[in-house]
Structure 1
Amino acid sequence: MSRTTVVAAPISSQSRTLLRLKELVGKKDLSEALVVDYQHLCETEQTVTLEWPGAHAFYTPDPQAHSSLLFTESVRQSLAVSCHMSLDIPTDHRLGWEYLCSDVTVDALRTTTRPTTVRMRVVHSAVKRRRLGSVQLVAHIEGSIDGRYAGSAEVHYSTHPGAIYNRLRGSYADARAAFGQAPPPGPAVAPERVGRDHARDVVLSPTDSPDRWQIRVDTGHSVLYDHPHDHIPGMVLLEAAGQAARASLPRPAVPLGFDTAFDRYVEFDAPCLLTTTRLGPELHGRPRVRVDAHQRERRVFSSVVTLAPAATG
């Protein structure tokens, strides 16, 4: 009997490059890595191309429109790729946001029957390298879809070598141990109040005050907690701020802009409470809500969320 030998097809250099880019974005599930291309223009300027699915399991809460945080997640992934590929930030460094100001257009979020190609122009205006290896960076990102402006962001962030990060985090440095301290998720705010269809996608629990909520942590959520974290991720905090802002308004509205300062790491082992304050006047008919978050009686982050009236019908 003859034996048939099956020879695996070689992986092309293009496929290896794409895999490498996707591995840099910090997602265990590579199907959540949106990056599909990267261009190095110079040390401080790059172009990152991403592909949004027609519908995302979490970032498409409305069949007609993506969440603005799909744009923010694309910013996060673009920075992860650009700082490692062009700024020689080692891949074992830990990245953390200190400030984020983002805004996206309504038109950019409209869903289509096909994936949407988004191009991000990333410009780093400041890169400060510290003696022991930490780096502080300021980046400006502008996104476009089919050549039309889609949104922009300014991000101040830092990267730390593992040894320095572990010293900063102290007893919380072990991600698996810290992750394991999260209590079971509490009751969810009614999904319709925050523009969701399912309680599993709600990141707020109600309190006895109408303008106060607690962050609801569900470590089994495969998008928000793709792998063990040593603290609640920034994307979860932004989602919580957006949901709290939306819940605080008398009429349905969609978060489009976030002006956020991240003061401290938000831990899993203590409640984090959010308080909302309506700001005035409105900007071009768009309400603004300030969200302040406290944990152990210390402010951990604050965000001014700008919203647009939700489409009806």
Structure 2
Amino acid sequence: MSISTLPVRTTFTNTAPCSLGFDQTVPRQLVHRAGVTEVFLTDGVQIQGESRSVRIAAQWPRHHALYQPDAQRFSDPMLLVETLRQAAIYTAHRFHGVPQHHRFIFCDLDFRIEEPALLRIGGAPLRVVFDGRFSPEDGRTDTRLAARFDAAVEVDGRRCGQGSVRLLAVGERLYTALRRRRNASFGAPVQPVPRTLLPASEVGQARPENVLLSRGTTPGTYAMHLDTSHPGYFEHACDHVPGMALIEAFRQAGHQLLRHSARSDTHVMTACAVSFDAFGELDAPVTIHADEGPKEARSGERLVRVSAAQGERTLARATSVYLPHRTAASR
């Protein structure tokens, strides 16, 4: 991925034998989901003698209201992102003693899909294993834990890619102090504003109700549509703009930008690195800015840089890599 400036993580393989189940989901409270149908993890074990090493099992559905396969039958890459999020939270709770009432703040996240063809939908749900390492940082207290979770990703027994996330788990009092320190307004949630949303086909979505963007006033600029009643983006009550919604908005912006610059080509996002800089408030509009980087001639990869802002404040920044579907299918 020569055009990419994404972080390169050191990956590893846990060789210790262990068995994982795929027959039922883990408790939803351990992954901070309100609905059982939104839980993708099915099991997890800590490697004996290695307190930081875990193997986490998950099952990806063939069809989901939010994470749907595209027209070429590739699984939504956001499934990998959401599973990475769940795996990090689950590991913190189950194996590192983080209380269930703690709040999780994600500082950065990145992933790479190295074998996109493994994400093609077949006749059964995909079995996924995260071969992970949870590394707490110094300075842990009863109310605060900072850590990084790195994982190699296997799909149906074959290496598919990797992901990493840095998180901060804090108690309620500390969380409230952090929110106030960031000048949180705690105003009334934004109500959906009537506007012409982009067509679902332009942003890599199958359903129009999942579109997050409308066209902005200048090329590469978009207004983010925040509907706090959406059952996917606001799966449970949230006092700020969800990080997963921001990442999806970034993905959609990249699809729309490339759809016009690449003309006949359609693309799939194969890598992304996101940094979260500030809490996004629900009572102020969010603007998405996207611009395209150089094309990698040999592989056809396209680089897109995206950011989200409220006024002069940057909420998050991302660098994403997209690959033409015809190339992804042959890898």
TM-score by length of 2: 0.83
* CA separation of 1:139 and 1:197: change in aligned 2, threshold 3 A: closer
Matches within 5 A, 1:90-129: 90-104=99-113, 105-129=115-139
Q: How far apart are residue 157 of structure 1 and its match?
A: 1.1
- Structure 2 portions without partners, runs of 5+: 1-20
Structure number with the bigger relative contact order (C-alpha 8 A, sep ≥ 6) is 2
* CA separation of 1:61 and 1:116: change in aligned 2, threshold 3 A: closer
Q: How far apart are residue 87 of structure 1 and its match?
A: 0.9
Partners of 2:118 and 2:165 in 1: CA distance: 20
Partners of 1:20 and 1:148 in 2: CA distance: 23
Partners of 2:46 and 2:162 in 1: CA distance: 19
AA aligned opposite 1:275: H
Which of 277, 296, 305 does residue 282 from structure 1 map onto?
296
* CA separation of 1:188 and 1:46: change in aligned 2, threshold 3 A: same
Does 1:291 pair with 2:325? no
Partners of 1:128 and 1:237 in 2: CA distance: 29
Larger relative strand fraction: 1
TM-score by length of 1: 0.87
Matches within 5 A, 1:133-282: 133-170=143-180, 180-185=188-193, 186-249=195-258, 250-251=261-262, 252-282=266-296
Structure 1 partner of 2:70: 62
RMSD of aligned alpha carbons:
2.7
Partners of 1:190 and 1:67 in 2: CA distance: 18
Structure 2 partner of 1:25: 31
- Structure 1 portions without partners, runs of 5+: 1-14
AA aligned opposite 2:273: D
Deviates more, 1:22-31 or 1:286-295: 22-31
CA contact (8 A) 1:263 1:301 kept: yes
CA contact (8 A) 1:174 1:230 kept: no
Q: How far apart are residue 183 of structure 1 and its match?
A: 2.0
CA contact (8 A) 2:25 2:40 kept: no
State the aligned residue count: 297
Does 1:37 pair with 2:37? no
State the structure with more CA Rg.
1
Does 1:310 pair with 2:316? no
State the 4+ residue runs in structure 1 displaced beyond 6 angstroms.
Answer: 171-175
Deviates more, 1:282-291 or 1:29-38: 282-291
Structure 1 vs Structure 2: percent identity of aligned residues?
25
- Render the CA deviation track for 1:106-128: whole Å, top value 9, x for unaligned: 12321122111100112023433
* CA separation of 1:131 and 1:53: change in aligned 2, threshold 3 A: closer
Q: How far apart are residue 187 of structure 1 and its match?
A: 3.1
AA aligned opposite 2:309: H
